[in-house]
Amino acid sequence: MQPAVLRPGFSDPPVQSAHDRVYRGLRLQVMHGELLPGTALTLRGIGKSFDVSMTPAREAVRRLTAEGALTMSASGRVATPELSNERIEELASIRALLEPELASRALRRAHLALIGRMESINEANARAVHRQDAVDYIRTNLEFHRTLYLRAQSPAMLGLLETVWLQLGPTMRALYARLRRTAAPPHHRLILEALRAGDDAALRLALRTDVTQGLRHLAVYPGEARA
Amino acid sequence: MQPAVLRPGFSDPPVQSAHDRVYRGLRLQVMHGELLPGTALTLRGIGKSFDVSMTPAREAVRRLTAEGALTMSASGRVATPELSNERIEELASIRALLEPELASRALRRAHLALIGRMESINEANARAVHRQDAVDYIRTNLEFHRTLYLRAQSPAMLGLLETVWLQLGPTMRALYARLRRTAAPPHHRLILEALRAGDDAALRLALRTDVTQGLRHLAVYPGEARA
DNA sequence: CATGCGCAAATGTGATCACAAAACGCGCCG
DNA sequence: CGGCGCGTTTTGTGATCACATTTGCGCATG
C-alpha cells in the first residue's frame, strides 16, 4: 500500500522487488502443495495478502502461469491447475527422463557430506510421513531430490525440472490426501546406496522407479476423471 | 493508445489481448533468431513498436523472461540472453534428451502425409540455406522438428522443448552468421528415412546427432568467451 | 420446485502518473 | 590526454483509476 520503505540499512536479502516477493511466496505455496488443484486466486486477493497493489500481483501470476504453476481461463481467471490423467502421466515421464540424467551427472561430483545431508533430509521426510503432514512431506521429498541434483551443475536442466514439479504441486497434494501414505518413500534408500556405491546404472534405475512409483498412483480414479 | 475497438464482428483470431499480441510477436522474434544475443530492449520501446502502453509490454517481458527467452539484469534491464559455452552445451544435451523421445512417441502415429509435409518443409529449409537467410533457415528447421513432435501428442514435453529453443534462438542466429553454412542440414534425410522405415532406434539416433551436430559447433571460440 | 432472467458485485485489463535508480554524456581536473 | 564526477536523461517499478466483462445470486415465473 504505502511506499513501503524497504529497510534502508539491511541487505541480508538483496532487497527483492515487490513482485519478486509475491512470485516466490506463491511459487512455494504451489510447489509444496499448499493449494489443492482448482483453487481460485484473484489478483486483488493476492495483492492484499502480500500487502501490495494489483500490479506486482499480476506480474507474479503472469510469470507463474508461464511456468505452468497456475492456469488462466479465457476470461483471465487464475487457478491452480487440475491435471488430466494424460497430463499427469506425461509429466511423470518427463521426470523419469530428467531426474536419472541429473542424478547421473551429480554422481561424479557427489561426496560423503552430500550423502549425509540427503540422509538427514530423508529422516525429516520420514517424520513428515509419520506426522501425516502432506505439505512437509512434499517439501522434504523435493528437497531430497534437489540436494542431489544441485551437484549436477546443470542449472538449465534443474530449472526445467522445477517447472515440472511446480505443475505437479497441487496434484501431489491431492494424491497424498487420497492414499494416506503410512510408510516413507521406499526408494530413497536405494538412491542413497547407489550413491555410496558409485553405481551409475543402479542410481538411474532407483530414480526412475522412485519417480514413476510415486506418480503412477496419482492417476485419478475413473469416476473423478477430469477434462 | 486509444481504447482500440477490437473489431466488433470478426472472430477469426479469437481477439487476443494486447499483452498476448506483444508476447507472441516477441516470442517469434527471439525463437527465430531475429535478435542477436545481448540485444537490449526497453519496455517503452516495445510498447511503442506494438502500439500499446508499458503495462502489456511488461507482462509480455515477464512471461518471456520466465521462459528464458529474455534476461533481466539486477536493475531490470531487458536483453536477449548471451549464453556461456557451458549453458549452450547443457541446452544441447537437453535437446538430445527430449527430441529423440518426442520423435519416438511420434513414430507410432506417423503417417505418409506427415512425412510428405516434413519433406516439403525440408525443401523450404534447403532454399533458405541457399538464400543465406538465417532467420528463415532457423524457422523452417524448427518447423521441421515441430511438425514431427506434434504427432507425439505430448504437449507438456513439447512445451518444455520450445522453451529450450527459445533460449537458443539468438545464439543460433549468431552461430549462423559465423559459419556461413553452405549445405542443408545433413541429418534430416536420415530422420525421414528412419520414419519411413519405422525404425525407432535409427530415428532416435538420427535426432540425437542432428541436434548435437547442429549445436556442437555453436560454442564460442576461446577469444570471445562470455561470462 | 425447477428454470431462466436481470441486476449488482467482483474481477482482469490497460493507460497513466509519480518516483527512484541506473545509465549516459559532458566537461572539469589532474 | 586520460580518468573522474556531476547533472540530465532514460528506464523500470508500483499505485491508482476507468472500463468492459464476467460471475454469481436473488427473484420472479412457469
The string of pLDDT tens digits covering residues B95-144 is 999 999 999 999 999 999 999 999 999 999 999 999 989 999 999 999 99
Q: What pLDDT is recorded for position B211?
A: 92
Mapped onto helix, strand or coil, the DSSP state of residue B40 is: strand
Cell of B218: 555453436
Domain ranges for chain A: 18-79, 85-219
Percentage above 70 pLDDT, chain B: 85
> Does B79 contact strand C, using a CB cutoff of 7 Å?
no
Give the residue with greater pLDDT, A106 vs B11: A106
Chain-chain contact of A63 with B58 (C-beta, under 8 angstroms):
no
In CATH, which of 1.10.260.40, 1.10.3720.10, 1.20.120.530, 3.40.190.10 is domain A85-219? Answer: 1.20.120.530
Q: Is A15 left (phi over 0), alpha (psi -120 to 50) or beta?
A: left
Q: What pLDDT is recorded for position A12?
A: 47
Cα distances from B8 to residues A187, B4, B11, B12, B222, in angstroms, run 58, 11, 8, 11, 57
B67 reaches A (C-beta below 8 A): yes
Model ipTM value = 0.88
Chain-chain contact of B66 with A63 (C-beta, under 8 angstroms):
yes
Give the residue with greater pLDDT, A126 vs B10: A126
Contact A105, A158 (CB under 8 A): no
> Does A59 contact strand D, using a CB cutoff of 7 Å?
yes
Cα distances from A159 to residues A66, A102, A156, B55, B67, in angstroms, run 13, 11, 5, 27, 10
Cβ-in-10-Å burial (0-12, 13-18, 19+) of B7 comes to exposed
> Does B73 contact strand C, using a CB cutoff of 7 Å?
yes
Give the residue with greater pLDDT, A172 vs B182: A172
Mapped onto helix, strand or coil, the DSSP state of residue A113 is: helix
Q: How many whole angstroms separate alpha carbon A188 and alpha carbon A207? A: 8
Chain-chain contact of B97 with A98 (C-beta, under 8 angstroms):
yes
Strands of the A40-41 sheet, one edge to the other: A40-41, A78-79, A71-72
Q: What pLDDT is recorded for position B46?
A: 97
As a whole number, mean pLDDT of residues B72-96 equals 95
> Does A77 contact strand D, using a CB cutoff of 7 Å?
yes
Mapped onto helix, strand or coil, the DSSP state of residue A1 is: coil
- Nearest CA among A214, A216, A212, A203 for reference residue A100: A203
As a whole number, mean pLDDT of residues B40-57 equals 97
Helices (H), A51-84: 54-66
Mapped onto helix, strand or coil, the DSSP state of residue B71 is: strand
The protein footprint on chain D, as nucleotides within 7 A of a CB, is 10-17, 19-23
Phi, psi of A7 (to 5 degrees): 50, 80
Chain-chain contact of A98 with B101 (C-beta, under 8 angstroms):
no
Residue of chain B minimizing CA distance to A56: B59
> Does B76 contact strand D, using a CB cutoff of 7 Å?
yes
Which residues of chain B neighbour A91 with C-beta distances below 8 Å?
156
Cell of B5: 475497438
Q: What pLDDT is recorded for position A4?
A: 39
Give the residue with greater pLDDT, A3 vs B19: B19
Give yes or no for residue B184 having a pLDDT over 90: no
Of A62, A94, A167, the CB nearest to B62: A62
Give the residue with greater pLDDT, B156 vs A182: B156
Q: What pLDDT is recorded for position A182?
A: 67
Q: Which CATH code fits A18-79?
A: 1.10.10.10
Chain-chain contact of A90 with B164 (C-beta, under 8 angstroms):
no
Q: What pLDDT is recorded for position A11?
A: 35
Q: Which helix H or strand E contains A184, and what residues bound it? A: none
Q: What pLDDT is recorded for position A16?
A: 83
Interface of A with B in 142-181 (CB under 8 A): 154-157, 159-160, 163-164, 167
List chain A residues with pLDDT less than 50.
Answer: 1-12, 221-227
